[in-house]
Structure 1
Amino acid sequence: MSRIFVENQLARRIFLDRHLLLRPGPGTGKGRDLEEVLHRLGFVQVDSVNTLARAHDLILWSRRGRYRPQALDRLIARDRKAFEHWTHDAAVIPMEFYPMWRVKFARDEARMRQRWPQWQGEAWHAEIKNVLRHISDNGPAGSIELRGDQPKGSSGWWDWHPSKAALEFLWRSGRLAICHREGFRKFYDLSERVIPDHQRLARPDEVEIIDWAMRAALERLGFGTSGELAAFFEIVTRDEAREWCATALASGRIVEADIELANGARRRSFTTPDILDGATSLPAPDARVRLLSPFDPALRDRARAERLFGFSYRIEIFVPEEQRRFGYYVFPVMQGDRMIGRMDVKRTGKLLNTSAFWPEKGVRMGKARSAGLQSELARVATLAGVDSMEFEPGWLRS
Structure 2
Amino acid sequence: MPGSLPLLPASAARRLFLGAQGLLDDPARRATAASVQGLLERLGFVQMDTINVVARAHDLTLLSRLDGYKPEHLRKLLEDRRSLFEGFTHDASAIPTAFFPHWKPRFARDRERIRAHAWWQHHFRGTDGARVVQDVKTRIEREGPLKSSDFEHPEKRGPWWGWKPQKAALDFLWRSGELMVPRREGFQKLYDLTERVLPEHHARPCPDPQEHQEWACASAAERLWVFTPKELAEFWAGIEAAEARAWCAAAAKAGRLVPVEVEGADGEVRPAFALADWEARLAKLPDPPDRTRLLCPFDPILRDRARALRRFGFDYRFEAFVPGPKRQYGYFVLPILEGDRLVGRLDPKLHRDRGLLEIKGLWWEPGVKATKARKRGLDEALERLAGFVGADEIQLP
Q: TM-score, normalised by structure 2?
A: 0.94
Which secondary structure state, in structure 1, belongs to the residue aligned with residue 145 of structure 2?
A: coil
Match of 1:7 among 6, 9, 14: 9
Which position in structure 1 is the counterpart of 2:34? 32
CA contact (8 A) 1:19 1:298 kept: yes
Distance 1:361 1:208 in 2: 46
Change (3 A) 1:317 1:225: same
CA contact (8 A) 1:80 1:196 kept: no
Superposed, 1:201-220 pairs within 5 Å as 201-220=204-223
Superposed, 1:148-167 pairs within 5 Å as 148-152=152-156, 157-167=160-170
Change (3 A) 1:367 1:188: same
Superposed, 1:375-394 pairs within 5 Å as 375-391=380-396
Match of 1:363 among 361, 368, 382: 368
The amino acid of 2:11's aligned partner reads Q
Q: CA RMSD in A?
A: 1.7
The amino acid of 2:212's aligned partner reads I
State, as a whole percentage, how many aligned pairs show the same letter. 44
Deviation at 1:198, TM superposition (A): 4.4
The amino acid of 1:338's aligned partner reads R
Deviation at 1:200, TM superposition (A): 4.2
For structure 1, which segment, 366-375 or 124-133, has the greater mean C-alpha deviation from structure 2 after superposition?
Answer: 124-133
* 1:286 maps to 2:289: yes
Which position in structure 2 is the counterpart of 1:223? 226
CA contact (8 A) 1:82 1:95 kept: yes
Which position in structure 1 is the counterpart of 2:356? 351
Which position in structure 2 is the counterpart of 1:243? 246
CA contact (8 A) 2:14 2:340 kept: yes
Where structure 1 has 5 or more consecutive residues not aligned to the other structure, the ranges are none
Change (3 A) 1:373 1:26: closer
Change (3 A) 1:29 1:96: same
Match of 1:85 among 78, 84, 87: 87
The amino acid of 1:291's aligned partner reads L
Distance 1:198 1:125 in 2: 26
Which position in structure 1 is the counterpart of 2:141? 136
Change (3 A) 1:91 1:22: same
Which position in structure 2 is the counterpart of 1:52? 54
Q: How many residue pairs align between the two structures?
A: 390
Distance 2:35 2:268 in 1: 38
Deviation at 1:157, TM superposition (A): 3.3
For structure 1, which segment, 287-296 or 271-280, has the greater mean C-alpha deviation from structure 2 after superposition?
Answer: 271-280
* 1:96 maps to 2:98: yes
The amino acid of 1:254's aligned partner reads L
Distance 1:54 1:83 in 2: 17
Which secondary structure state, in structure 2, belongs to the residue aligned with residue 241 of structure 1?
A: helix
Distance 1:61 1:200 in 2: 34
* 1:268 maps to 2:241: no
CA contact (8 A) 1:96 1:199 kept: no
Match of 1:335 among 335, 338, 347: 338
Which position in structure 2 is the counterpart of 1:307? 310
CA contact (8 A) 1:95 1:199 kept: no
CA contact (8 A) 2:194 2:202 kept: no
For structure 1, which segment, 31-40 or 199-208, has the greater mean C-alpha deviation from structure 2 after superposition?
Answer: 199-208
C-alpha distance after superposition, 1:270-311 (max 9, x if no partner): 111123321122222122111010111110111110111000
Which position in structure 1 is the counterpart of 2:77? 75
C-alpha distance after superposition, 1:16-60 (max 9, x if no partner): 011111232344433211110000000000011111110000001
Change (3 A) 1:199 1:223: farther
Deviation at 1:321, TM superposition (A): 3.5
Where structure 2 has 5 or more consecutive residues not aligned to the other structure, the ranges are none
The amino acid of 2:155's aligned partner reads P
Distance 1:121 1:366 in 2: 57
CA contact (8 A) 2:22 2:65 kept: yes
Distance 1:383 1:311 in 2: 26
Distance 2:268 2:51 in 1: 36
Distance 2:78 2:393 in 1: 32
Which position in structure 2 is the counterpart of 1:296? 299
Change (3 A) 1:59 1:284: same
Deviation at 1:162, TM superposition (A): 1.4
Deviation at 1:319, TM superposition (A): 4.6
Distance 2:30 2:139 in 1: 40
